Amino acid sequence: MTPVLEAVGLTKAFGGLVAVDNVSLAVRAGEFLALIGPNGAGKSTCFNMLMGQLKPTQGRIRLSGEDITNLAPRQIWAKGVGRTFQITATYPSMTVIENVQTALLSHYKRLLAVVPYAHYLYRDEAMALLEMVSLAEQADRHCAVLAYGDLKRLELAIALAHEPKILLMDEPTAGMAPSERVDLMRLTADIVASRGVSVLFTEHDMDVVFSHAQRLMVLNRGQLIAEGSVEDIRQNALVQEVYLGGGATFKE
């Protein structure tokens, strides 16, 4: 079956530094795939190329078989590559539900001029999305007063409003407490399973990765060094070397 998102020979050089070196990967329909690796491995650079923020030095990117290499970020997003940001991107002056309604408006391509009336539009649909991320009770609060973990869940609802084929999540749990991280990933995993969305995510907390990813790819110094199931990766000597400096193993 054609992968939802596919990168072939993806490479990015910054001057003499090859941040991403000939990476090929494929995300299949409905898959929850983790891209892991130490700091500076090239994960964000990979994501930025997949989202169109950075132009690859070499390589191709395909979405459901269609070449999207070098398209602008907005075009890639419009074709169904959703994303959540490392830095939360909501409008703090709007309420929780207005943020989701604005996303729905944009998804249905209404003019931005109607935003002042956003509260009349798509309220039921926005409420359904908020229920999905357990934020319904906070629908009418201003985003500025939300707890960080709640903002992250709102961001997920906003991303889903665009009905993406795939969600790219670069460290979605950054800045969250360990228990909140597990909750957010569990919520994300449940939602994507029920909606059939694919997810490619990065995460530095190995407990979170090992308990949620269906499949993992490991980057080190720009190169993919391993790929497989949680069990494969846990037991991979090269991966242990990279993460733990050898001699140790991941805890069970």
Is the CB of 43 or the CB of 212 nearer to ligand ADP? 43
Minimum distance, C-beta of residue 171 to Mg ion, in the bound complex (Å): 6
Q: Among residues 98, 90, 112, 63, which one has the least CA distance to residue 159?
A: 90
Q: Which does 3 bind (CB under 5 to 8 A by kind): Mg ion, ligand ADP, none?
A: none
Is the CB of 5 or the CB of 35 nearer to Mg ion? 35
44 sits near Mg ion (criterion: CB under 5 A): yes
Alpha helices by DSSP H, listed for 110-205, are 123-132, 148-161, 178-195
Q: Which does 242 bind (CB under 5 to 8 A by kind): ligand ADP, Mg ion, none?
A: none
For residue 9, the surrounding DSSP H or E stretch is: strand 5-14
Strand partners, 166: 81, 198
Residue 219, judged by CB atoms within 10 A of its CB (0-12, 13-18, 19+), counts as buried
Is the CB of 19 or the CB of 160 nearer to ligand ADP? 19
Angle at 182 between CA 48 and CA 126, to 5 degrees: 70
The residue written with tokens 């990813």 in the block is 213
Minimum distance, C-beta of residue 194 to ligand ADP, in the bound complex (Å): 29
Is the CB of 23 or the CB of 156 nearer to ligand ADP? 23
Q: Which residues bind ligand ADP (CB under 6 A)?
A: 14, 17, 19, 37, 39-45
User: Footprint of Mg ion on this chain (CB under 5 A)?
Assistant: 43-44
